[in-house]
């Protein structure tokens, strides 16, 4: 037995992606095709040109990184397009050994009077189910040589938006012409979480969680406290983008004001130098207490290496990423993609980066893989989740034995 973690092993083991944005994870060929069908003008007509102009390996800043979403969202305004992209996302994940994903997106970006939030989610589920059911009917799954593919939906609210981003937002601004911006943003998130609870418990859709994404600085998660309190009292699990572009205080707010069960990114968890509240007299102690609380409560952190490298200049290499400290503290960590297209990545690639540059030991890799399954907002009852996690662990250990990994 040895400790060599190969690319082949990483590719074969069952994996999760708990943090993947639908509108950031299209196939580039599909984006180009759909743009032609719905008259969306792209900066280039082929994949090579689009990678040069939009979807790059490195970005100058976050605005450049986000540029591609204006094109992807524009082509995802019909049920057929949403279903197709969702189906292809499952197919791409299955091909690299991913067996559970939680697809997050903002339904309000795609909805309008004749295409409601519910219908948006149903269109995505249709595509996800098509690919899931096809794989789960395969000989490998039926014979027990592989585990089934499963998924959940995370409804994503935005910290801020404007009336030009979708008809829904335009109507909301029209209905609240004199309200402060934070009240408009709060109204949208509360509207979405109410719809999420209805879809989950009345319509039976696999809406497993509620998320808050977008610019942290100047747009605190606390403004959306009412939506997260609604999620809390209606048994909707919660994840919050926090600590991606702001310091530990943002993560603290996600946990305390938003009752977060998971943290999206959490990159600056240990950055005591970023603390701004003058009432925090000992920033180092504050960070230690926060990290210890997250670790002991098993609040899973959704780490996205490539997108962090592309959007955070302070992180010069994977070796500089806070993932190293998270692993050293035995925190619950899941390695995710964030955006497969925008970051030109996959789950296997993200894990390979961590194994090579952190580096990760076989034990740490196993812990990360298991944390992804355990930390999931699995759509079925808890006992079924336990069984699914056990099957994933058994599959992992069987492959580890075959590859000679301790």
Active site residues: 244
**Token digits for 405?**
């990994």
How many CB atoms within 10 Å of residue 182?
A: 15
Residues 6+ apart with CB under 8 A from 92: 27, 340, 346
Q: Which two tokens stand for residue 7?
A: 């690319």
For residue 341 the two structure tokens come to 């297209």
Residue 276 tokens, joined? 């701004």
C-alpha closest to that of 299 among 18, 16, 93, 10: 18
Quote the DSSP letter at residue 242. Answer: E
Neighbours of 296 (CB within 10 A): 9
Rounded CA-CA distance 100/88 in Å is 14
Give the Cα separation of 306 and 295 in Å (integer): 23
What is the C-alpha separation between 247 and 237, in angstroms, rounded? 23
- What's the sign of the alpha-carbon dihedral 197, 109, 99, 140? positive
Residue 368 near residue 358 (C-beta atoms within 8 A):
no
Establish whether the linkage from the previous residue to 196 is cis, with ω within 30° of 0.
no
Indicate the SS3 state at residue 155: strand
Kind and range of the H or E run holding 311: helix 305-311
Rounded-to-integer distance, Cα 357 and Cα 264, Å: 21
SS3 119: helix
| N-term to C-term CA, the chain | 6
How far is C-alpha 325 from the geometric centre of its chain's CA atoms?
21
């Amino acid at each position: 037995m040895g400790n060599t973690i190969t690319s082949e092993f990483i590719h074969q083991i069952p994996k999760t992606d708990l943090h993947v944005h639908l509108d950031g994870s299209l196939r580039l060929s599909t984006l180009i095709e759909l743009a032609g069908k719905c008259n969306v003008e792209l900066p280039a007509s082929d994949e090579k040109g689009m990678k040069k102009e939009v979807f790059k390996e490195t970005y100058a800043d976050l605005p450049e990184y986000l540029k591609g979403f204006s094109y992807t969202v524009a082509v995802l305004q019909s049920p057929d397009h949403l279903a197709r992209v969702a189906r292809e996302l499952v197919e791409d994940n299955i091909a690299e050994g991913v067996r559970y994903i939680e697809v997050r997106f903002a339904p309000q970006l795609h909805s309008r009077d004749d295409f409601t939030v519910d219908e948006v989610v149903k269109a995505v589920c249709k595509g996800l189910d098509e690919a899931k059911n096809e794989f789960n009917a395969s000989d490998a799954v039926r014979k027990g040589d592989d585990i089934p593919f499963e998924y959940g939906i995370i409804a994503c609210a935005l910290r801020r938006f404007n009336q030009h981003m979708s008809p829904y937002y335009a109507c909301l601004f029209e209905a609240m012409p004199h309200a402060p911006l934070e009240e408009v943003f709060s109204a949208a998130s509360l509207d979405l979480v109410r719809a999420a609870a209805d879809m989950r418990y009345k319509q039976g859709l696999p809406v497993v969680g509620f998320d808050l994404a977008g610019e942290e600085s100047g747009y605190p998660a606390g403004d959306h406290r009412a939506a997260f309190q609604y999620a809390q009292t209606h048994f909707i699990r919660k994840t919050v983008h926090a600590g991606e572009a702001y310091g530990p205080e943002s993560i603290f707010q996600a946990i305390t004001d938003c009752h977060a069960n998971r943290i999206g990114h959490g990159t600056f968890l240990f950055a005591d130098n970023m603390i701004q509240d003058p009432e925090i007299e000992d920033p180092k102690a504050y960070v230690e207490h926060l990290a210890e609380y997250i670790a002991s409560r098993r609040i899973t952190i959704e780490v996205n290496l490539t997108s962090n490298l592309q959007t955070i200049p302070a992180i010069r290499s994977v070796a500089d990423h806070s993932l190293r400290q998270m692993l050293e503290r035995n925190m619950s960590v899941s390695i995710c993609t964030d955006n497969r297209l925008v970051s030109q990545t996959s789950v296997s690639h993200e894990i390979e980066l961590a194994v090579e540059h952190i580096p990760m030991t076989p034990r740490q890799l196993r812990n990360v893989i298991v944390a992804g399954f355990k930390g999931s907002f699995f759509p079925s009852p808890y006992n079924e989740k336990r069984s699914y996690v056990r099957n994933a662990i058994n599959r992992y250990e069987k492959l580890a034995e075959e590859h000679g990994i301790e």
